[in-house]
Chains A and B, each alone.
Chain A
Amino acid sequence: MWKTDRDPVKMMADWLTAEKLTDRAQLDGIRSEIESEIEKAVAFAIDSPYPSPDKVDQDIYA
């Protein structure tokens, strides 16, 4: 199954571990760090008020 056997993220992790370039503990650490960053970002988005409509045409151009 390409979804389970050919996931490039999983394959890369397996390869890095096999080559002893990293280990499971470090990879798990990276994963939980990213998960917590995402959770914080989602919480920030949910807790923030909606923008006022006058912002709709801001930032189209730098």
Chain B
Amino acid sequence: MPETRELTLGEAVREALAEEMRRDSRVFMCGEDIAEAGTVYKVLTGMVEEFGPERILDTPISEPGFTGIAVGAAMTGMRPVVDIMFGDFSTLVMDQMVNQAAKVHYMSGGKWKVPMVMRATLGASRRSAAQHSQSLHAWFCHIPGLKVVLPSTPYDAKGLMKTAIRDDNPVVFFEDKMMYKLKGPVPKEDYTIPFGVADVKREGTDITIVATSSMVQVALGAARMLDEEGISAEVVDPRTVWPLDEETILKSVKKTSRAIVVDEGYERYGVTAEIASVIAEKAFFDLEGPVKRIGAMHVPIPFSPPLEDATVPTEKQVFEAARKMCG
């Protein structure tokens, strides 16, 4: 049996980064407060001590600048990992990621590649207000040339981060800030998880709940509640929203004939919209009824705790939607 330990999701991400930096001298990191501070969430604690300030580059508050530097470094042979801290600051680097990183390989006829990772956080319910609480991953899914990763467990986070660093394309890696303390088993030996392969987190027969990132835990909680009502829910975690493992999602839906899609981004034009369309287009005649989407409420995420809590999908909400569909 391979040796495993319990790690938090934050520790799993750090371990993946540290192991890849030991393995490959071309990997370096840049971002705000990533060196001595070890990031806002202490995910990178100890990294600058091991790898030094030339590989753990603390930058000024200049997201477009250091992301642009990373795109250039990646094009000329390095493998940068950019830390965007709050995913909300993605707004500042859309040109670097969308107009540069995502296009270079195509526009150069495959002569140039951009092997870089952009790390960012998503997720609300931390009382951080509207500019530090958004889940904007759908923006990146919209762009050909990018890959988008949403880990939901420490095991997945480590294996997917290693794949992201070894991938020759720009990869956007979103970590839910509320999950950094989530614990789970992580093997000690080196492993990677391929992109585009969903994971069935819980098997069931009555309804499929497709969930991403921290919404996987919400879906699993709802599934436990449904179990008490005699409803068997299957939870499917795509793990990467692009590439998307349509096959596993459709196989599950064809088995259960009911589907809910839960994601913390906005429903409108979002990840839930895309996955629900895939199911409606390709499994329509296997469905008992319409696909249900559950995402963030379409408002700026409020600071006020009772208001903020009303915007995020909950176990109860998923449970009630599922029970109604199975009724």
Contact = CB atoms under 8 A, between A and B. Distances in A.
Interface of A: 58-62
Contacts of B169: 61-62
Interface of A is mostly: loop
B169 to A, nearest CB: 5
Given A59-B106, A60-B144, 9 more contacts: A59-B105, A59-B109, A59-B110, A60-B145, A61-B145, A62-B105, A62-B113, A62-B114, A62-B169
Interface residues of B, number: 12
Interface in B122-181: 144-145, 147, 168-169
A61 B110 CA distance: 8
Interface in B96-110: 105-106, 109-110
A60 B109 CA distance: 9
20 contacts: A58-B110, A59-B105, A59-B106, A59-B109, A59-B110, A60-B105, A60-B106, A60-B144, A60-B145, A61-B105, A61-B145, A61-B147, A61-B169, A62-B105, A62-B110, A62-B113, A62-B114, A62-B115, A62-B168, A62-B169
Nearest to B112: A62
Contacts of A59: 105-106, 109-110
B126 to A, nearest CB: 34
